[in-house]
Amino acid sequence: MSADTKIAELLTELHQLIKQTQEERSRSEHNLLNIQKTHERMQTENKTSPYYRTKLRGLYTTAKADAEAECSILRHALDKIAEIKSLLEERRIAAKMAGVYSDSDPPRKTMRRGVLMTLLQQSAMTLPLWIGKPGESPPPLCGATPASSDYVAKQGDKVAARVKAVDGDEQWILAEVVSYNHSTNKYEVDDIDEEGKERHTLSRRRIIPLPQWKANPETDPEALFSKDQLVLALYPQTTCFYRALIHTPPHRVSSSSCSPPPPPPPPDLCVFVCSLRTTTRFCLRTRRTPTVTLLRSTWLRDTWSPAKRTRRSDHEKKRSSDLIVCCRLTLDSEV
């Protein structure tokens, strides 16, 4: 069976599950209305008789069963969505691996940066929200929860990769896994920015897998980065990761709070503080000790230009050599 046929079947099944969810919800509304009316009668009569207790017990038992049935259908629908996304990703990887061009073929068009940024934002927006059962802890790669020590990223997974630039300096970039060699414990990754068109062979310690689920701030706050925690975050409109301090973690699933004005710099330092907003999809736990000292050791003359992956001119380095960069992040859960 072809991938297109399988996807079409899964979409049909998903449509049926959505209809079942609505039918289940409509059926349970009558019972919920009875619960509300029973409570109103009890308040009017100002007493709780054995009759009302027995009636409410039966109504709540039915409501609980209805909710569990609806939850089961929704989880089944989420599984179908995950399967569809997996098939689409496999098809994309297969098309990419089969994209061999001969001299007679037209040259491949490079994706415009604006299009790439839009796709990355959509990737963050569509990252699935982890919905565990009562008492179930978030799995690895959910929000701020790191991957297990023996985890191996799969082909097509997005990762942060520490690579060497042309001038020999190192930077963390957004990359896609091509393969993993178990004998050498090394990854082959492609720079996600097609302008670079570079493939890198890197050891596991130079790779940090990106989260695969978003954490719900209301049910799993332990899976979120905490305030003032040092992280690696994707700088807006670039494919480079920079060290930053968490300023405001999300408080709700659809949190959209803004960063307050930056505090005044300490008297003994000339500090440039920038308040940024980023997504939980592209915010990673740094592998170094999370102290402010490390962040403040990132001199502006050693940072990459946000607009392009090019070094600042010598004149700019000289002018800004006494500045230190601190990024303050507000995290959104983009749901």
Closest to 173 measured CA to CA, from 239, 242, 230, 117: 239
> pLDDT tens, 201-258?
999 999 999 998 889 888 899 999 888 888 888 888 888 888 888 888 888 776 433 3
Q: What is the pLDDT of residue 296?
A: 29
Strand partners, 174: 160
Closest to 261 measured CA to CA, from 274, 270, 271: 274
Closest to 278 measured CA to CA, from 50, 120, 90: 120
> pLDDT tens, 136-167?
899 999 988 999 989 999 998 999 999 987 77
Closest to 326 measured CA to CA, from 186, 237, 201, 228: 228
Phi-psi region of 245 (alpha: psi -120 to 50; beta: other; left: phi over 0): beta
Q: What is the pLDDT of residue 125?
A: 80
Mean pLDDT of the chain: 75
Q: Span 15-26, mean pLDDT?
A: 93
Q: What is the pLDDT of residue 244?
A: 85
Residues 81 and 75: beta-carbon distance below 8 Å = no
Band of the pLDDT at 333, cuts 50, 70, 90? very low
The secondary structure element, H or E, covering residue 231 is strand 230-234
Residues 259 and 247: beta-carbon distance below 8 Å = yes
Closest to 174 measured CA to CA, from 210, 127, 213, 225: 210
Q: What is the pLDDT of residue 181?
A: 94
Q: What is the pLDDT of residue 189?
A: 93
- Return the minimum-mean-pLDDT range out of 107-116, 170-179, 264-273, 326-335: 264-273
Percentage of the chain exceeding pLDDT 90: 31
- Kindly tell me if the per-residue pLDDT of 130 is higher than 60: yes
Q: Span 93-117, mean pLDDT?
A: 62
Q: What is the pLDDT of residue 123?
A: 80
Closest to 133 measured CA to CA, from 72, 79, 81, 213: 72
Joined together, the tokens standing for residue 69 give: 């049935």
- Kindly tell me if the per-residue pLDDT of 92 is higher than 70: yes
Q: What is the pLDDT of residue 242?
A: 87
Phi-psi region of 168 (alpha: psi -120 to 50; beta: other; left: phi over 0): left
Classify domain 221-332 at the CATH class level: mainly beta
Q: How far is CA 164 from CA 154, 159, 167, 173, 266, in A?
A: 23, 16, 8, 10, 33
| Threshold 0.95, pTM exceeds | no
Closest to 261 measured CA to CA, from 188, 333, 330: 330
- Kindly tell me if the per-residue pLDDT of 119 is higher than 70: yes
Distance CA 185, CA 203 (A): 6
